[in-house]
Each structure stands twice: as structure tokens, then as C-alpha cells.
Amino acid sequence: MFDQPIAIGGVSTRSNLFLAPLAGYTNFPFRLLCSSFGSGLCFTEMVSAKGLKYGNENTKTLLYTDEREGIAAAQLFGNDPEILRAACEIAELAPFPIVDINMGCPVPKIYKNGEGSALLETPALAEKIVKECVKSGKAITVKFRIGIDRDRLVTEEFAKRMEGAGASLLTVHGRTKDKVYAGEVNEEEIAKAVQAVKIPVIANGGVFSLGEGERLMKNTGAAGVMIARAALFDPQIFCEFSGKERMSKKAMFEWQMKETAALFDTRFTTVFMRKMAAFYLKGERGAAAYKERLFAAQSPEEIMKIVEEMWQ
């Protein structure tokens, strides 16, 4: 079920199981990690099109990739069609044949700026954005929610508009903007998108196990599934779907630490890997005490000492 490649524009993914763009987390080493466990396509965290166009250095660091990633996919956010197209054409995006446009982010500062999920309320503008970005030659995909709230569901019509504008694939998060990441996933709405368009539709929301992924695929008829928050707590969740062998948490963490330290400075590596260790500790005995020590650690070396003690 989860070993089917999906054609997106002129490229084909390794499978129909994707890693969602996760703000603050899906950097290059984390994407490589998830890919090694079976994710067929991994998206960068969302990148500001405006920041990219105007040369923001922090924005550019989010787009690091190399040949190990294979097919690289970036996600942009913004609300200006011309700026989004210009961002698609910038040199930093040259290694990314796939660009996803974020039309689902529920974060207030994004929404209030007319970006992310706010584009669900301006479908004509959303269409124009996709039409412009397609002119860049990239395969353009769109990730969106089913509506702003239950009284304003837009899934079917919005999916049709995005396909008509030239999108190569859609990812539908089966919650409304007001639910953020809580509540039941509306499988019926995702199914409406699947039935409304001819391009592939990926189902997203609430997948924390193989069984939940299988159910979402079956109940929606989607071409694939996208995993989000579950991967933060356990990147090896992809092994459940791919059949790949799990490794020890310690070995996994050591690899991620090494790759992160090779790419980022000491401060970023320390802060980021403290957070990742805290995620990986969820549900383990003594987690609270270890987390307290982790967040007091001031260097990667201190973190590794604690990790070696945690996972002997």
C-alpha cells in the first residue's frame, strides 16, 4: 500500500509516504533521517518567499540539500504571485524540482498576513499564485486545509481550482484552520478532493501508526499519506510502513547529532538537538528528570553524555 511511487511533474517519488513540512524541524539532516527509514518524499520547513527573494540569509539556510536527498521538495509561503514565482526561480531553489505552496498554516501571524490558510478565503488569488509559480518550470504542489471552520468548508471547489491552475499534486490536511492540530480528521472532505480532481491527492492529519495510515488511505481513496507530528516523536515510524529495520534510539540520535553539527553552528545544534532528544524521550521512564538536564546542557558534548546515559 505504501510502496507506490507517485509522479509529480517530471519526477517520481520513492513511495507514496511523505514527510510533512514542519516549521523549525524538517532541516536537511532530519529529512535524510526520515528518508532512510522509508519516507518517499520529504519537504523542507516552510520558507518565506519574500525572505528568499530579498536575500535573507536565515531563509537560505533552510534550503540546504545535497545529492544524498535524491528528489528534494521545498515549501514556500506568501501571498504575492510575482514574489512567489521569483522565489521559485532563485538559485537556492535550483536543486528542488518540486515546490509546495503553503495554503494551510493556521498560525495567527501567518493567517493575519493573508498567507497560509488565509488563502482559502481568497481562491482567485490562490489560483493566480499557482499559475505564476508553474511558469517557473517547477512542479507545483499545494498543501491546504479543508476550510477555515466547519461552516466554511471549501475542499472540493478549492481542489478543482488548484488543479485548474496547474498544480501537479495536492495534500489535504483534514482539519479546519480553527482546529489547528486538534480534533478528528474529516476523512469525507479529503475524499471529496480525491473525487474532484485527476491529479494525485495526499491525505494528511492524525497519522501516528501504520493502522491509522491504512485507514486514512482506505477511507479517502487518497494516493498516499503524509506524516507530520508523529515523525518528531519517532522518525522511525516510517519503518512501520516501509518494513525497514529499526535502529537503537542512541544510534539514531548520534547520527542526527553528527549530521546537524556538520551543517549548523554549535548554538543551533545544541538548541535543536535538545528539543529532539526531548521528543524522543516521550513516554520513557524518568523522562522528566532527563529533560530538565537536557535543557540545561550548553553544548552538543553535554547532550551526548546525557543521551549515552539515557539509552545505554
Are residues 290 and 218 part of one domain?
Answer: no
Claim to verify: residue 189 and residue 284 sit in the same structural domain: no
Is residue 123 one of the residues assigned to a domain?
A: yes
Q: Quickly list DSSP for the chain.
A: ------EETTEE-S-SEEEPP-TTT--HHHHHHHHHHT-SEEEEEEEEHHHHHTT-HHHHHTT---GGG-S-EEEEE-S-HHHHHHHHTSGGGTT-SEEEEEE----HHHHHTT-GGGGGG-HHHHHHHHHHHHTTTSEEEEEEESBSSTTSB-HHHHHHHHHHHT-SEEEEESS-GGGTT-S---HHHHHHHHHH-SS-EEEES---SHHHHHHHHHHH--SEEEE-HHHHH-TTHHHHHH-PPP--HHHHHHHHHHHHHHHS-HHHHHHHHHHHHHHHTTT-TTHHHHHHHHTT--SHHHHHHHHHHHT-
Identify whether residues 211 and 177 lie together within a single domain.
Answer: yes
Q: Decide if pLDDT at 25 tops 90.
A: yes
Among residues 34, 42, 105, 133, the one annotated as catalytic is 105
Residue 180 shares a structural domain with residue 31: yes
Q: What is the pLDDT of residues 115-164, one digit of tens each?
A: 999 999 999 999 999 999 999 999 999 999 999 999 999 999 999 999 99
- At residue 311, the pLDDT reads 87
Does 42 qualify as catalytic in the annotation?
no
58, pLDDT greater than 80:
no
Strand pairing class (169-173; 17-19):
unpaired
- Does 269 share its domain with 155? no
Tens digit of each residue's pLDDT (9 = 90 or more) over 160-179: 999 999 999 999 999 999 99
Residue 14 has pLDDT above 80, yes or no: yes
286 pLDDT more than 90? no
pLDDT of residue 56: 77
Structural domain of residue 298, as residue ranges?
Answer: 249-310
Q: Are residues 68 and 201 located together in one domain of the fold?
A: yes
pTM of the model: 0.95
pLDDT of 310 reads 87
Q: Is the pLDDT of residue 71 over 80?
A: yes
